């Protein structure tokens, strides 16, 4: 078994509950956890065995398990005119100056100085929050997705263990050595299959209920 496992994650993503569980189950393994401005680049460079990535897409050279999505918010000076709006929509941002670049304390200082507004994932805005900056949700805005990804070739032997922890499997759960690849393949298809399955279930449910009502109408009443 490998004696070292390296994880990388972007700003705003909280992974402490998973890394603590991993450390408890694998006390003989050196767990290295690295914040990264570009986790995918760290993975490609061999600097991490597995990474949490924001808005990553499935690729031929790596697996991807989508974990959760979060809102994207507008951050602006706390006295900006947009803060007077009860609700914000994308169209309300037309013509507004934008602050661009990698989110950081310097980035937020620019927002606080009134240089412009910016769109950030909610967790990133929270991690960089300031008293003189307000964050507001966009009613029709985009979302940001967090996923867990690792190479298809040369997979680290502890990848399956970590996936099990993220998935909520207990320390005593039986694990198939190929479960990681299987779960990844299923997850990569889930987004496409969810909409089709939902529509199918709804159609079947409507069909199943109709005969039941007809049958109920034909039953004679007891006297």
179 in any annotated domain: yes
Look at residues 137, 152, 179 and tell me which one is the last residue of a structural domain: 137
In a domain, 208, yes or no: no
Q: What is the pLDDT of residue 37?
A: 93
Coil, strand, or helix at residue 132? Answer: coil
Residue with tokens 């980035």: 107
Region of residue 55 (phi > 0: left; psi between -120 and 50: alpha; otherwise: beta):
left
The alpha carbon dihedral of 68, 74, 75, 79 has a sign of negative
Q: What is the mean pLDDT of each run of 10 residues along the chain (223 residues)?
A: 89 96 95 96 96 92 95 96 95 96 96 97 96 95 95 94 90 50 55 49 46 45 49
Please indicate, yes or no, whether residues 19 and 118 belong to a single structural domain of this protein: no
Query: Based on C-alpha coordinates, what's the Rg of the chain?
Result: 24
Position 186 scores a pLDDT of 56
Q: Are residues 53 and 10 in the same domain?
A: yes
User: Both 75 and 16 in a single domain?
Assistant: no
Residue 54 lies in a domain: yes
The domain boundary residue, chosen from 89, 121, 137 = 137
**Which of the 8 DSSP states describes residue 117?**
B
In the three-class reduction of DSSP (H, G, I as helix; E, B as strand; rest coil), residue 183 is classed as helix
> DSSP 3-state assignment of 150?
strand
Tell me the residue range of the domain where 190 lies: 4-68+144-197
Residue 61 contacts residue 152 (beta carbons within 8 Å)? yes
Q: Is 212 part of any domain?
A: no
Q: What distance lies between CA 148 and its chain's CA centroid?
A: 8
> How much of the chain is in helix, strand and coil states, percent to nearest 5?
40, 25, 35
Gap between the Cα atoms of 221 and 186, Å rounded: 50
Predicted local confidence at residue 2, as pLDDT:
67
Same domain, 49 and 82: no
For residue 47, tell me if it sits in a domain: yes
pLDDT of residue 1: 55
Lookup: tokens for 189: 């298809």
Q: Would you say residue 79 lies in a domain? A: yes
In angstroms, the CA 203 to CA 34 distance is: 47
**pLDDT recorded at residue 3:** 87
Task: Tell me the C-alpha to C-alpha distance, in Å, between residue 192 and each of 72, 198, 214.
Answer: 22, 11, 35
Residues 148 and 64 placed together within one structural domain of the fold = yes
Same domain, 83 and 59: no
* Domain-located, residue 49: yes
Which bin fits 194, alpha (ψ -120 to 50), beta or left (φ > 0)? alpha
CATH for 132: 3.40.190.10
Number of domains the chain is built from = 2
């Amino acid at each position: 078994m490998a004696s070292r496992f390296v994880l990388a994650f972007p700003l705003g993503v909280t992974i402490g509950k998973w890394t603590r569980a991993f450390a408890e189950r694998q006390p003989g393994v050196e767990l290295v956890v690295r914040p990264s401005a570009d986790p995918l680049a760290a993975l490609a460079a061999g600097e991490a065995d597995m990474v949490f990535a924001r808005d990553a897409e499935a690729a031929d050279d790596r697996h991807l398990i989508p974990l959760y999505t979060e809102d994207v918010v507008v951050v602006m000076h706390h006295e900006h005119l947009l803060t007077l709006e009860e609700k914000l929509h994308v169209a309300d941002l037309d013509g507004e100056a934008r602050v661009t670049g990698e989110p950081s304390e310097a980035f937020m200082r620019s927002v606080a100085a009134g240089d412009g507004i910016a769109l950030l994932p909610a967790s990133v805005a929270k991690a960089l929050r300031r008293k003189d900056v307000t964050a507001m949700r966009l009613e029709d805005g985009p979302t940001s997705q967090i996923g867990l990804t690792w190479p298809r070739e040369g997979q680290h032997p502890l990848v399956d263990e970590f996936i099990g922890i993220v998935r909520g499997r207990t320390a005593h759960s039986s694990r198939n050595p190929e479960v990681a690849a299987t779960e990844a393949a299923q997850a990569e298809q889930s987004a496409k299959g969810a909409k089709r399955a939902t529509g199918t279930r709804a159609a079947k449910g409507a069909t199943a209920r109709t005969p039941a009502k007809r049958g109920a109408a034909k039953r004679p009443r007891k006297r």
